[in-house]
Structure 1
Amino acid sequence: MRQQTQQTARRGSTVWAVVITSTAGFITALDNLIVTTALPSIRDDLGGGLEELEWTVSAYTLTFAVLMMFGASLGDRFGRRRLFVLGTGIFTAASAAAALAPGMNELIAARAVQGFGAAIITPLTLTLLSAAVPAERRGVAFGIWGAASGLAVAMGPLIGGALTEYVSWHWIFWVNVPIGLALIPLALLRLNESHGTNPSLDLPGTVLASGGLFGIVYALVRGNAEGWTSPLILGGLIGGALLLVAFVAWEQRAKHPMLPMRLFRHPSFSAINAASLLMYLGLFGSVFLLTQYFQDVGGYSPMEAGVRMLPWTAIPMIAGPLAGALSDRIGGGPVVAVGLVLQAVGMGYWALAVEPQLSYPDVVPAQILCGIGMGMFFAPTASLVMSTVRPQEEGIASGANNAIREVGGAIGVASLAAVFSAQGGYESATRFVDGLVPALWFGAGALGVAAALVFLVPSLRKTRGPVADLPSGDVPARAPAAI
């Protein structure tokens, strides 16, 4: 009887851990794209131009990406549950501040703080989940967590459009507040505290990476306005690049680096992470512009725009499991490569189909191709990343891949918007399309390069399980981060 009671208690603890961590993963993933369908309404209400709209997306993804592995280190040192609760509090408070923002500058600042909170929450969700769930049930638990995050990405534009149209754009941020307030006491009551074995904090690495990425993204955002040869823009590009070089040099000599450079000695690890960066570059940059295209050119409401993005954003929920099963049979590399090709073709189809007088059926095939390609990319990527490292390094590797994806999203919004503003603008439907078409071709090119990278690495073409020639070096203990 006592043993049965203990088993029941453990099952209850497992269920609560899955619910808490999956919900937290859902809201942080949701805020990547929920804002996109609200951008025209935000512009009408708060003013601002393309640059300010870019920063409402990039301020979140950039801080999210740069500080994610630092957030995992904070959890190792000060307690994972404690930092999870702190990160949730920061994210919730910043969401309220974004909803109450009186202007674009305040909104952008709140979004940056939101990203900081998400960077603490996300890498700790899997750590806490792993600690609470028995080993034989972790596959199911991680699957639920991954499905929740995937659903958030897929439904972000639709949820954002529905809230903007039927309530107001402020509610794309207010919706986080009651969820966050509920998660905090639940985490304190239902999750156990734990610490990592590596209490070090890589502050120099965090500063160098943050400064370098900010300089590059800032230069991309301001390039057309200031002039690409102006001292400010050249300083941002060159200074940002030098800081990233310094970051790589520091990580190679740091005793406890937040991103061990030895992992990138494996060609498969380098290739799949470069492909992830380029894929998110094309995805985030194109969704940023196309949700505005549906509203500004097509005349659709925010809700209608979100619905019309579903052939792209919802199909991965169907294609993903099928692609995962296929990758088990033929290997993940070919599936990912074909998925990237389909996305590149779909983006090119978009570029050929868009025109000032939108005919929605003409762009549905492009969305279907992009959606199938996304599902084929997402399903095997985590396995490919894990197959290139030792089990002790899986947390670092998955955290690095997730951070690189977010960096790609921030650069994607900035770079595609830069191409758009160089050739077009918001003055008319014709001007919008004039800028959109070359931006979409730029995104298609990035996806094509990503596909080539995967095709050209022999070990990725045949990867089904662990890769034998793993990078050498001592393995520091670090909490698992988001896959």
Structure 2
Amino acid sequence: MDALRTPPTSPTAQNPSPAPGRTPYPRRWAALAVLAVAQFMVVLDSSIVNIALPDIGIGLHMTASSLSWVVTAYVLTFGGLLMLGGRIADLRGRRGTFLTGLIGFAAASAVAAFAPTAGTLIAARAVQGSAAALMSPSALSLVTTLFTGSERAKALGVWGAVAGSGGAAGVLLGGVLTGTFGWPAIFFVNLPVAVAVAAGALRYVPRSSGTRGRIDLPGATALTTGLAAIVYGLSQSHDKGFTSPLVLTALGLGAALLAAFIATERAVPQPLVPLRIFRLRTVTSANAVMAAIGAATVGLFFFLSLYIQQILHYTPLKAGLSQLPLALTITTAAWLAPRLAARTSIKTLLVTGPLLLTAGLGWLSTASVHGTYTGVILGPALLVGAGLGLSFVSVNVTAAAKVAPSDAGLAGGLINTTQQVGGALGLALLTAVATSRTGTNPSLASVDSGFQAAFLTAAAIAAAAALIAALIAPPHRPAHDSAGDQQGPLNTPPPEPRLSVPKPEWTSP
């Protein structure tokens, strides 16, 4: 009984995952709660600015094209540096990496709240994204190593619910805060949350040491700058045209840098992204689906927020509250996902989720200047919410299956990278599509036409996610278990530990 109250106090090992037959970390559920709140804040900040964008544009004298960079600066640095963050977590220790990112995130939030110019705000958002790239993969790797067997399935279900609901909740909370206190409040709100998370992490999250190795800075540089070049090229295409020298140069440079990244990963002894991980069909399929879901989702929240305020003329507060059904549906669907998977399979949810998202986005593409909330917003919101809730849970569970504990940070960084990178590329593409329909002298009808085109393109991307899941995702039907560490709902058998990794011991925070 004493072992259940007090964790072992011997030195930490390289991998903080409890070995089979050993006592699980007793504070794991409290640790999960702390880490889930942090992840919620990270996901929240990718969408909380959307409702506030019109007010930010007025306050900082920003054009429509520059406003998109308030979102892009965050998701691009977040996605581009996530793999580096995951590698740092594995090499330098997961709790320390998490806390470092948390401090940076809070500091950047304070700067964003006081930003006097557009450039300061965009720079602060980039730092926010960089800090989130340290927080998110280290938190997810902690979750996947704190839990095993059927408990890991439940923990990942909670994680999926957080990831799925954070985007919708960001739109809701952003509207409430902007309408009540003004747009700086959407950044101020991070400060008390960060303080509470830091206190919880120091109390409940266990310490762990990292493994030996080097950080692949050339690979990280090539990946991040390559993605930035592609996003920049796409963002300029609606003004310059896809065939302009600037756009072609940016896209070509981005493609060359990404090719250099792949070549680097093949050559260096300790790559940022060991390409061997893609031999797992679970990893390949989950990340391909997540990239498409991210592309559709970031664009969805961006353009839906603008449609509600610019076409339906909602106030920020009313616009935020209008997203409550979407947020509740995402949370409910994510909560039901483990139960549905136990009756069907993970792959069924992995296909069904994007199909529901496709239907909702297709319905939104019919939104017109004469649209109403009940006619063109509520129904699609319910379909989109159900699709996102099922998708995020099934994708996260699929991505974590069959991954060795020593690669937990890698897998966590990879799945988050594809979501954020997909979001950055998707927003750039959808903005180009919408602007091409709007024209240089936009009227209300032409702006609405641009929104329709963006929603329809997002629906096509979501349909591609469903097709990818159907074609390449491995079939898996969860088995019911009777032992705590056996295969359970939403879970595959835990990976066998590597012989070179010592058996871990837990240490108190």
TM-score, normalised to structure 1, is: 0.88
* Per-residue deviation, 1:18: 3.4
**What secondary structure is seen at the aligned counterpart in 2 of 1:64?**
helix
Q: Which residue number corresponds to residue 483 of structure 2?
A: none
Q: Which residue number corresponds to residue 76 of structure 1?
A: 90
Match of 1:401 among 401, 408, 415: 415
Q: Which residue number corresponds to residue 297 of structure 2?
A: 283
Classify 1:305/1:377 alpha carbon distance in 2 versus 1 (closer, same or farther; 3 Å). same
1:229-308 mapped onto 2 (5 Å cutoff) = 229-308=243-322
Q: Which residue number corresponds to residue 13 of structure 2?
A: none
Once residues 83 and 394 of structure 1 are traced to their aligned partners in structure 2, the CA distance between those partners, rounded to angstroms, is: 14
Q: Which residue number corresponds to residue 358 of structure 1?
A: 371
Q: Which residue number corresponds to residue 395 of structure 2?
A: 381
Deviations, residues 219-278 of structure 1 (Å, cap 9, x unaligned)? 111122233222221111011011111111211222222222223234453233222111
Classify 1:144/1:335 alpha carbon distance in 2 versus 1 (closer, same or farther; 3 Å). closer
Deviations, residues 387-436 of structure 1 (Å, cap 9, x unaligned)? 35455544423321121011111111111111111111684321211211
**What secondary structure is seen at the aligned counterpart in 1 of 2:46?**
helix
* Per-residue deviation, 1:351: 0.9
Matched, 1:450 2:465: yes
* Per-residue deviation, 1:73: 2.4
Deviates more, 1:292-301 or 1:257-266: 257-266
**What secondary structure is seen at the aligned counterpart in 1 of 2:365?**
helix
* Per-residue deviation, 1:456: 2.0
Q: Which residue number corresponds to residue 20 of structure 2?
A: none
The amino acid of 2:349's aligned partner reads V
Once residues 297 and 2 of structure 2 are traced to their aligned partners in structure 1, the CA distance between those partners, rounded to angstroms, is: 53
**8 Å Cα contact 2:141-2:412 kept in structure 1:** no
**What secondary structure is seen at the aligned counterpart in 2 of 1:326?**
helix
* Per-residue deviation, 1:14: 4.4
More helix by share: 1
The amino acid of 1:195's aligned partner reads S
Once residues 378 and 200 of structure 1 are traced to their aligned partners in structure 2, the CA distance between those partners, rounded to angstroms, is: 32
**What secondary structure is seen at the aligned counterpart in 2 of 1:36?**
coil
* Per-residue deviation, 1:462: 4.8
The amino acid of 1:359's aligned partner reads T
Once residues 4 and 300 of structure 2 are traced to their aligned partners in structure 1, the CA distance between those partners, rounded to angstroms, is: 53
Q: Which residue number corresponds to residue 28 of structure 1?
A: 42
Deviations, residues 97-156 of structure 1 (Å, cap 9, x unaligned)? 111111211111100000011111112224445677798865555555554444423311
1:35-434 mapped onto 2 (5 Å cutoff) = 35-128=49-142, 143-188=157-202, 191-352=205-366, 354-363=367-376, 364-387=378-401, 389-390=403-404, 392-424=406-438, 427-434=442-449
Once residues 229 and 340 of structure 2 are traced to their aligned partners in structure 1, the CA distance between those partners, rounded to angstroms, is: 41
Deviations, residues 359-397 of structure 1 (Å, cap 9, x unaligned)? 111112222222222122122212222335455544423
Classify 1:105/1:48 alpha carbon distance in 2 versus 1 (closer, same or farther; 3 Å). same
Deviates more, 1:238-247 or 1:180-189: 180-189
Classify 1:6/1:164 alpha carbon distance in 2 versus 1 (closer, same or farther; 3 Å). same
**8 Å Cα contact 1:51-1:222 kept in structure 2:** no
**8 Å Cα contact 2:233-2:250 kept in structure 1:** yes
Once residues 326 and 147 of structure 1 are traced to their aligned partners in structure 2, the CA distance between those partners, rounded to angstroms, is: 14
Deviates more, 1:370-379 or 1:442-451: 370-379
Deviates more, 1:180-189 or 1:229-238: 180-189
* Per-residue deviation, 1:202: 1.2
Once residues 398 and 203 of structure 2 are traced to their aligned partners in structure 1, the CA distance between those partners, rounded to angstroms, is: 36
The size of the alignment, in residue pairs, is 470
Higher RCO (CA 8 Å, separation ≥ 6 residues): 2
* Per-residue deviation, 1:32: 1.2
Once residues 324 and 370 of structure 1 are traced to their aligned partners in structure 2, the CA distance between those partners, rounded to angstroms, is: 19
The amino acid of 2:166's aligned partner reads A
Structure 1 segments unaligned to the other structure (5+ residues): 469-473
The amino acid of 1:453's aligned partner reads I
Deviates more, 1:249-258 or 1:179-188: 179-188
**8 Å Cα contact 1:14-1:133 kept in structure 2:** yes
Once residues 304 and 136 of structure 1 are traced to their aligned partners in structure 2, the CA distance between those partners, rounded to angstroms, is: 41
Classify 1:192/1:327 alpha carbon distance in 2 versus 1 (closer, same or farther; 3 Å). closer
Once residues 105 and 4 of structure 1 are traced to their aligned partners in structure 2, the CA distance between those partners, rounded to angstroms, is: 52
Once residues 413 and 139 of structure 1 are traced to their aligned partners in structure 2, the CA distance between those partners, rounded to angstroms, is: 32
Classify 1:297/1:128 alpha carbon distance in 2 versus 1 (closer, same or farther; 3 Å). same
**What secondary structure is seen at the aligned counterpart in 1 of 2:210?**
coil
**8 Å Cα contact 2:90-2:406 kept in structure 1:** no
Q: Which residue number corresponds to residue 507 of structure 2?
A: none
**8 Å Cα contact 2:98-2:135 kept in structure 1:** yes
Once residues 160 and 101 of structure 2 are traced to their aligned partners in structure 1, the CA distance between those partners, rounded to angstroms, is: 20
Matched-pair identity in %: 34
Q: Which residue number corresponds to residue 471 of structure 1?
A: none
Once residues 139 and 251 of structure 1 are traced to their aligned partners in structure 2, the CA distance between those partners, rounded to angstroms, is: 31
Structure 2 segments unaligned to the other structure (5+ residues): 10-23, 480-486, 493-497, 505-509
